[in-house]
Structure 1
Amino acid sequence: MSSEIECPVAIVGAGPVGATLAAALAARGVPCAVVDAQPLPPMEVAGFDGRAYAIALASRRVLEEAGVWARLPIEPCPIEAIKVADGRVGEAPSSLDLDFDAFEVGSEPFGWMVEARALRVALNAHLPGLPGVRVFAPMTARAERREGGATLSLADGTVIRAQLVVGAEGRRSALREEARIRVMRHDYGQVGLVGAFAHEHPHRNRALELFLPAGPFAQLPLTDLGSFGTSTLPHASAFVWTERRAVAERVLQLDDAGFARELRRRLGDWLGVIEPIGRRWHYPLTAMHATRYVAQRLALVGDAAHGMHPIAGQGLNIGFRDVGALARLVGEAHARGQDVGRPALLARYQAERRPDALMMIGATHALERLFGNDVGVLRLARRLGIAAVDRVGPLKRFFARRAMGV
């Protein structure tokens, strides 16, 4: 039996960004509907699969305001220090490095490592109990946007009438395509490898970012949970590893012992014995940016609007900044009894978010171009540059605060 629902906002996409936006709107008293083509994962904490997110300080604040952070079932691991260095595979990193200490900047860590399973469980547990939030998943929808409002027609016959539709379906956003919003793309010819490993020595909440000729390699600290799967090693870290496609294909075929050897050739010996845990994830690395973030009765958030190289680990964090801005603007308008999908509000959202995301895409692209090579003179110049930043306090603090997203 079909039904009709009216609410100010309809969100298409229930991933981390879309679901967090729904929670953030509910926290501001804005009713909304969430539609996703995939079923929501189960509420229980699944087995560790190797995926984790680096959540910046600004993103944590968004998650706290949305009521999500307090529901995380696994304690996030703070990132309290970051070592940045230039290097080559199989060699010790350059001694001309850059050491960031979060507590030289303020009283908070740079960020926190949150396991993907923990964030998913927190969101799934939080959404059903929120007043004014309706979730339809798995469900497909057809959107119609007109000057006076928007309509989502669901496959089960339900009709959702809203003032604003939000596209949060990721890089292949159907709403973006339907609105004929063009995107600019760049293929880096690289593969991103993501996963985790157990290790012998404690990481002491330190992260490592190595700039290697094929691309950056990062070790990021995870919360110690004793035993991860079949490993008896007591500590764990995540890795984000950029590699050329041909090399990535070869590495992904290695057994655990061979994969561990390749990890250690890049990581070094400071964490002692290591052992891969969870699954190995990989994806092609491309940058993408929508020429507009808005259209009639439509706003894009997260990967529907932008995607960038993982060299700075800011992709999801930029999406959470979209959430913070849109939830604030919509919440203020709703509290005043205004139309939350009107052109003036959408123009303000785009003016606030598009330059920030574009700047981060440009910065990550420039870093990849500068560090993703093995040219001797450039290698020396960047090592000297890293060392110079380490010695200039105000500049060092500027980069640290950008990493926090504040």
Structure 2
Amino acid sequence: MDNPARGRIFALMEHDCDILIVGGGLNGPALALAAAKAGLKSIVIDALPEAARTQEDFDGRGYALALSSVRMLDNLGLWERLEPNAQPMREIKVTDGRVGDAQVFLGLHFDSAEIEEGPMGQMVEDRYLRRALLEAMEANPLVEQRAGETVIAQETGPGGISVTLASGETLRARLLVGADGRRSGTAARAGIRRTGWGYGQTALVCAIAHEKPHHGVAHQFFMPPGPLAILPLPGNRSSIVWSETEAQARAINALPDDQYLEVLRPRFGDFLGEISLAGKRFVYPLNLTLANSFIAERLALVGDAAHGMHPIAGQGLNAGLRDVAALAHVLRHAQRRGEDIASPLVLARYQQWRRFDTASLAAATDLFNRLFSNDSALLRFGRDLGMAAINAVPGLRRGFIREAAGITGDLPELMRD
């Protein structure tokens, strides 16, 4: 139980806000808005300058948002704005052969029509999601922003925690949250170590325009160097996440656009007709990294700061948003009970809720990548039979569909319908 004297000191100390959030990407702003619903004031510190955070051009990036994440955005008042530019994912096809090859289908086929809740998820472009979060923060009196600022030091006191910015400003709060990515400075300064390894793979990310409609179908195609995901965007466009060995990815990314497409076409197939690039190209080295703890004294980690995993299941942002929803749930109920929202007991509830789930998801994505990213005929035969068996059992298939939609398990309030 917390020391009553310490509680009195905590109550008398002055704070600039309830929560300092380091990281202004997607999870940080989402947490600020979720905390505001509980009456908690936040300051979001983002290293990017204002101009870089608000650019409107399409750069090729998009996110596969599970149904649970869509519900959360709706509960935060954002989905009404996002929906006109979103693309429902009505089906998911997982194949262990050439994309679009209709001769033999030994794989998984998930159809949203098999569950009552509607589409399993929605594709939303980065520019729309980021802008919606920024404008919602600007409109919320309980959220402040510090753009173009970096944290150079943090210190925990008896009743709060403070950070020093590169500009010299010092900010104080009851709780500090690191939403600052896989190389989290917030975690490092708190002495939180990480466990993980690289995959020797790099993801090439881009968007393409194509001749034929995708009908809202997402594809996951497994090749020996790594998976290729084709995710539907509004119109005749799709987002591509394409994994290759590090050396091969560097060589491909160095090619001009026309040659880049020549490498992609035979992997992609012709089931969507002629393709062309739409937007910029990106590369991301792939690794697994887990924080050994999601919490420290007056500190919590969310998103990639807590866990970074292979994009094979498209769950990176969804897992981060579930962290945000779970932390907001825990803080809201602690605030209602009059608890110190940053006490060890309160933060332990958050860690207990999220650590096992994220470790299990990371282990599953790691196993799937190792199982499918190879050219073993024996393994390929076994995994194809396994996928075909799941596909043939309606009850099992519906369970996988609901899992893909993110609507299984103990859901935080913001992710409930």
- Give the structure-2-normalised TM-score: 0.90
More moved, 30-39 vs 118-127: 30-39
For residue 93 of structure 2, what is the amino acid of its counterpart?
Answer: K
| Aligned-pair identity (%) | 47
Please report how far the alpha carbon of residue 327 of structure 1 lies from its aligned counterpart in structure 2 after TM superposition: 0.7
Query: Gapped runs of 5+ residues in structure 2?
Result: 1-13, 408-417
**Residue 100 of structure 2 contacts residue 271 of structure 2 at CA under 8 Å; is this kept in 1?**
no
> Equivalent residues in 2 for 1:2-401 (5 A)?
5-41=15-51, 46-72=56-82, 75-87=85-97, 94-141=104-151, 142-224=153-235, 235-401=236-402
- CA–CA distance in structure 2, aligned partners of residues 357 and 366 of structure 1: 14
**Residue 178 of structure 2 contacts residue 186 of structure 2 at CA under 8 Å; is this kept in 1?**
yes
Please report how far the alpha carbon of residue 270 of structure 1 lies from its aligned counterpart in structure 2 after TM superposition: 1.1
For residue 382 of structure 1, what is the amino acid of its counterpart?
Answer: R
**Residue 9 of structure 1 contacts residue 165 of structure 1 at CA under 8 Å; is this kept in 2?**
yes
Label 1:216 to 1:279 Cα distance change in 2 as closer, same or farther (>3 A). same
For residue 132 of structure 2, what is the amino acid of its counterpart?
Answer: A
1:232 aligned partner: none
Query: Gapped runs of 5+ residues in structure 1?
Result: 225-234
Label 1:360 to 1:276 Cα distance change in 2 as closer, same or farther (>3 A). same
SS of 1:239's equivalent in the other structure is strand
Please report how far the alpha carbon of residue 90 of structure 1 lies from its aligned counterpart in structure 2 after TM superposition: 11
**Residue 99 of structure 2 contacts residue 221 of structure 2 at CA under 8 Å; is this kept in 1?**
no
User: Per-residue displacement from partner, 1:209-238 (whole Å, max 9, x unpaired)?
Assistant: 1111111111000012xxxxxxxxxx1001
For residue 214 of structure 1, what is the amino acid of its counterpart?
Answer: P
- CA–CA distance in structure 2, aligned partners of residues 43 and 307 of structure 1: 22
SS of 1:278's equivalent in the other structure is coil
- CA–CA distance in structure 1, aligned partners of residues 67 and 103 of structure 2: 28
Label 1:251 to 1:140 Cα distance change in 2 as closer, same or farther (>3 A). closer
SS of 2:117's equivalent in the other structure is coil
- CA–CA distance in structure 2, aligned partners of residues 391 and 205 of structure 1: 22
Please report how far the alpha carbon of residue 91 of structure 1 lies from its aligned counterpart in structure 2 after TM superposition: 7.3
Label 1:217 to 1:211 Cα distance change in 2 as closer, same or farther (>3 A). same
For residue 54 of structure 1, what is the amino acid of its counterpart?
Answer: A
**Residue 231 of structure 2 contacts residue 239 of structure 2 at CA under 8 Å; is this kept in 1?**
yes
User: Per-residue displacement from partner, 1:57-91 (whole Å, max 9, x unpaired)?
Assistant: 11112222222323338511010001111026997
- CA–CA distance in structure 1, aligned partners of residues 134 and 50 of structure 2: 7
- CA–CA distance in structure 2, aligned partners of residues 319 and 44 of structure 1: 22
- Give the structure-1-normalised TM-score: 0.92
**Residue 333 of structure 1 contacts residue 339 of structure 1 at CA under 8 Å; is this kept in 2?**
yes
For residue 339 of structure 1, what is the amino acid of its counterpart?
Answer: D
For residue 263 of structure 1, what is the amino acid of its counterpart?
Answer: L
Label 1:74 to 1:51 Cα distance change in 2 as closer, same or farther (>3 A). farther
- CA–CA distance in structure 2, aligned partners of residues 313 and 93 of structure 1: 27
1:231 aligned partner: none
Please report how far the alpha carbon of residue 14 of structure 1 lies from its aligned counterpart in structure 2 after TM superposition: 0.9
More moved, 6-15 vs 147-156: 147-156
**Residue 99 of structure 2 contacts residue 271 of structure 2 at CA under 8 Å; is this kept in 1?**
no
2:11 aligned partner: none
- CA–CA distance in structure 1, aligned partners of residues 95 and 167 of structure 2: 54
- CA–CA distance in structure 2, aligned partners of residues 5 and 109 of structure 1: 43
Q: Provide the alpha-carbon RMSD of the alignment.
A: 1.9
